[in-house]
Structure 1
Amino acid sequence: MNVLPSAPAKIPHILLYATGNHTHPTTKHSLGQYIIPSLLARFGLPGEREFLRLERKHDCWVGSGMVRGRELGAGDQNAGFRLTVAKPRVLMNINGRPLPFLLRTLSASHPPPTYAPPTLIALHDNLTLHPLTVGKPRFGVSAQGHGGLSSIESSLKTKDFWRLGLGIGRGGNAPGDGGVVKWVLSELGRDEKVFWEAEGVDRVVQVVEEMVDKLRRGDAGKGKGKK
């Protein structure tokens, strides 16, 4: 198991871990999970119901497949990478609970030297980013009060993993304001859905492909990317 940026290997392996409350799939707080269907479509993978299977032993929905034929800047346009997408079946504040066992299982089922250890990227809503924006991937930084990220840190006993923030803003609420809770649990608006199903998810795909490119070159460093 390795949650750190992976060393160069024949086939990079990305684990996108989508934080959220699966019982409230269209709220701002579940944005990481909301974009899954659009992400799968962009990567040429089957739809969510077909691709993600409930793994009761992991307590999450998991799907894994090869993404092929993408131009990744590392040279070989025909080279692919393995993409695993996981959606926890537990509430946000314990989202991290399935991860240790899941990472061990993935490392065993897709072992080196054929595959690199899975590189974990946690998808999460972000209050500090402007709405309708995608942040830079950030490694080993503060959870900033996000319950899902805090749970992942607690479960893995480390902050050393990548996070990709999806901007929802604060809706005019100040930090510590009780209105923040109401805001993150509010429904995504029509304009938000349109953005995240198209332009927003395209940016997420770009970030993943850039990460794969860096993994192939062996330079996916641990730099703490800023928002």
Structure 2
Amino acid sequence: MRRDSSIEKGWALNKQINGAVTMKCIIGLGNPGKKYEKTRHNIGFIVIDELVKRFSINLNKTKYKCTYEIQTIQQEKVLFIKPQTFMNLSGEGVRPLLDFYKVKVEDVLVIYDDLDLPVGKIRLREKGGHGGHNGIRSLIEHLGTKDFKRLRIGIGRPTNGAPIVNYVLQPFLKQEAATLAHTIDQSVKACETWLDKPFNEVMNIYNK
């Protein structure tokens, strides 16, 4: 039987040791489109944009409703993904792209916003539920597991009684800018550290 050449190319991109795929994947969650660029719900996009910028990478490839790129960093192949569906459908594109490149779920790190953490706080976890986050809910549904790594970034909760659905689609306040810049920097460093160290060590460093 003749193999699909596109699938063969996908396999060729993976480094294998004793048959085990070792490609890591970092996914930033958000909503596509200019109107959502600087909103709280898009902090996952904001962080991954800063991360790839520091590595001088552009997410120029498009497949399965995702923009992405693969780069070798510290002798590790890394797949960077920004789903281009809306947040509540994030898993639709991520699942087939991970399957295409044969990435294991335990090698996936997802960056997203968290209402229950104040602005300025980040938390790393090895697995967990969706906590009401529709992007994570979609990933769990499509991946069929909760066992993927997470980088949760605090966006706080509204203090003026605004509905959550409106609050998450608002930009950060000017007075939050300095704290936000530090949070983005720490989040990027946590991702960089994971490319070199076990995830439990990364948690010990950044979950303070």
TM norm. shorter chain > 0.5: yes
- The correspondence of residues 106-185 of structure 1 with structure 2, limited to 5 A, is 106-107=101-102, 119-135=107-123, 137-172=124-159, 179-185=163-169
Unaligned runs of at least 5 residues, structure 2: 1-10, 12-16, 202-206
* Counterpart in the other structure of 2:6: none
* Counterpart in the other structure of 1:112: none
- The correspondence of residues 195-206 of structure 1 with structure 2, limited to 5 A, is 195-196=179-180, 198-206=181-189
**DSSP 3-state at the match of 1:98:** helix
Q: Partners in 1 of 2:18 and 2:114 — Cα distance?
A: 30
- Shift in Å at residue 22 of structure 1? 1.1
CA shift digits 1:175-226 (9 cap, x unpaired): xx76211111111233545544x422331233224433444xx978xxxxx8
Q: Partners in 1 of 2:136 and 2:185 — Cα distance?
A: 23
The aligned amino acid for 1:19 is L
The aligned amino acid for 2:40 is K
Task: Name the structure where helix makes up a greater proportion of residues.
Answer: 2
Q: Partners in 2 of 1:178 and 1:131 — Cα distance?
A: 17
TM-score (norm 2): 0.76
The aligned amino acid for 1:203 is Q
Unaligned runs of at least 5 residues, structure 1: 2-6, 69-79, 109-115, 221-225
Q: Partners in 1 of 2:21 and 2:99 — Cα distance?
A: 18
* Counterpart in the other structure of 2:66: 60
Correspondence 1:91 to 2:82: no
Aligned length: 187
Selected match of 2:99 from 101, 104, 113: 104
Selected match of 2:49 from 4, 20, 37: 37
**DSSP 3-state at the match of 2:101:** helix
The Cα RMSD (Å) is 3.3
**DSSP 3-state at the match of 2:77:** strand
Q: Percent identity?
A: 26
Q: Partners in 2 of 1:130 and 1:94 — Cα distance?
A: 25
Query: 1:130–1:169: 8 Å Cα contact kept in structure 2?
Result: yes
The aligned amino acid for 2:166 is K
TM-score (norm 1): 0.70
- Shift in Å at residue 64 of structure 1? 1.2
* Counterpart in the other structure of 1:223: none
118 and 138 in structure 1: CA distance in 2 versus 1, 3 angstrom threshold: closer
Q: Partners in 2 of 1:192 and 1:95 — Cα distance?
A: 27
Q: Partners in 2 of 1:107 and 1:214 — Cα distance?
A: 22
* Counterpart in the other structure of 2:5: none
**DSSP 3-state at the match of 1:21:** coil
